[in-house]
Chain A
Amino acid sequence: GAVVSQHPSWVICKSGTSVKIECRSLDFQATTMFWYRQFPKQSLMLMATSNEGSKATYEQGVEKDKFLINHASLTLSTLTVTSAHPEDSSFYICSARDTGAGGVQYEQYFGPGTRLTVT
């Protein structure tokens, strides 16, 4: 149980185009999902918190107009990188909390990540 999938697993796009990355919780519902980016040999940096049915909460320094987040259902959040540039090339990882878990649930379940390369 508690599986999170991401699609695509990797994508190459041209500079100036937009790319959408999907994050799905497969066997649980998640009112809250998180989006991270990770540069090579570095740690994960939280970009934003995705809330089902409401606006995402962005971390300081993350451009909300560039990284559009939509959490339209309890099992799906999408991250769209708009007008991508080579510096947006990174590993994007999502995670989700199991809303239905009893009590307070601290553990986050991570997707396998999406490798974005902007040429």
Chain B
Amino acid sequence: SQQGEEDPQALSIQEGENATMNCSYKTSINNLQWYRQNSGRGLVHLILIRSNEREKHSGRLRVTLDTSKKSSSLLITASRAADTASYFCATGGLLYGNNRLAFGKGNQVVVIP
């Protein structure tokens, strides 16, 4: 079942600007992860935030998690053309003890050089 559901957005921004995308989910989670997918390729793990964390940084990425609102945001600062990709959030629980991930719809980000 799909738990992570971000508003399917298509963002088009200029290089150097910041890109923000959101994700909402419906059930309790253990963690929330963000992944990037370049067109026709596999997924690359970007960052994981646990349910007891509120904010996390990794390089130019900043992720927030609000468990009371069941939502998360991903901010990419100082965007680059290479950041052009689809970004998915995925929620992880401990369903059946094997930590399946439920992916959201994805955000298409285009960074214009």
Contact = CB atoms under 8 A, between A and B. Distances in A.
Chain A interface, >50% SS class: strand
Give the size category of A's interface with B: 20 to 34
A59 B96 CA distance: 12
Contacts, number: 61
Most B CB contacts (10 A, CB to CB) among A46, A106, A107, A108 go to A106
A60 B4 CA distance: 18
Given A43-B103, A43-B104, A112-B41, A106 B48 contact: yes
B105 interface: yes
B99 interface: yes
B101 A108 contact: yes
A110 B31 CA distance: 18
A36 B100 CA distance: 11
B43 interface: yes
Contacts of B42: 4, 6, 93, 110-113
A6 B43 CA distance: 13
Interface string A91-119: 10101010000000011111111010000
Q: Which 8 A-B pairs have the closest CB atoms?
A: A110-B43, A112-B42, A110-B42, A44-B103, A43-B103, A113-B42, A43-B105, A106-B31
Given A110-B43, A110-B44, A111-B42, 18 more contacts: A34-B101, A42-B105, A42-B106, A43-B104, A44-B43, A44-B103, A45-B2, A46-B100, A46-B101, A46-B102, A46-B103, A49-B98, A51-B98, A93-B43, A95-B43, A108-B101, A109-B45, A115-B40
Interface of B: 2, 30-31, 33, 35, 40-45, 48, 88, 92, 96, 98-106, 108
Interface of A: 4, 6, 32, 34, 36, 41-46, 49, 51, 57, 91, 93, 95, 97, 106-113, 115
6 contacts: A44-B43, A46-B101, A51-B98, A106-B48, A108-B101, A111-B42
